[in-house]
């Protein structure tokens, strides 16, 4: 028994040394990455392009909106000017009435020699 006890006594420290060496050895397992470096670069490039495109679209929309506002303001000014021109044309017709001209001539002491008053033609051909 003593020889078996010696063997047992000698074998026990060897087993503990084996366990210690097994614990000390670390195995590095390379895990496959979910997204590779090249894919990250491509995703970044596509994201940057999408961002640039969206900024361009918003800028273009803003410019178009401003141009539309300016166009509407100009159209409003044109409409107002046309109304004013029509009013002035009507006023010209009222002021060039031959009866009115004769009345003003009589008020200022002028006498009409002929009973027919002719209206002069307009210069611009209208």
Give the integer Cα–Cα distance in Å for 43 and 33: 15
Tell me the mean pLDDT in the region 20-34: 67
Percent of the chain with pLDDT over 70: 68
**Number of independent structural domains in the chain:** 1
pLDDT number for residue 102: 87
Per-residue model confidence as pLDDT tens digits over 5-23: 555 555 555 555 555 555 5
**What b-and-e string marks burial along 86-117, b requiring 16 or more CB atoms within 10 Å of the CB?**
eeeeeeeeeeeeeeeeeeeeeeeeeeeeeeee
- Residue 48 forms part of a structural domain: yes
Q: Is residue 77 part of a domain?
A: yes
Task: Name the residue range of residue 69's domain.
Answer: 40-108
pTM of the model as a whole: 0.50
Q: Residue 111 is encoded by which pair of tokens? A: 């006498």
For residue 104, tell me if it sits in a domain: yes
pLDDT single digits (tens) 85-126:
999 999 999 999 988 988 898 899 888 776 665 666 666 654
79 domain-assigned? yes
Which pLDDT does position 29 carry in this prediction?
75
pLDDT at 28 over 70: yes
């Amino acid at each position: 028994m003593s020889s078996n006890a010696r063997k047992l006594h000698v074998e026990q420290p060897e087993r503990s040394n084996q366990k210690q060496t097994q614990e000390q050895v670390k195995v590095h397992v390379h895990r496959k990455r979910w997204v590779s470096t090249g894919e990250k670069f491509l995703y970044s490039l596509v994201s940057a392009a999408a961002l640039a495109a969206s900024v361009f679209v918003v800028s273009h929309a803003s410019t178009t909106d401003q141009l539309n506002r300016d166009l509407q303001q100009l159209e409003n000014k044109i409409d107002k000017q046309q109304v004013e021109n029509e009013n002035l044309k009507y006023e010209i017709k009222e002021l060039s009435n031959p009866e009115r001209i004769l009345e003003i001539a009589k008020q200022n002491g002028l006498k009409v020699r002929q009973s027919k008053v002719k209206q002069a033609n307009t210069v611009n051909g209208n």
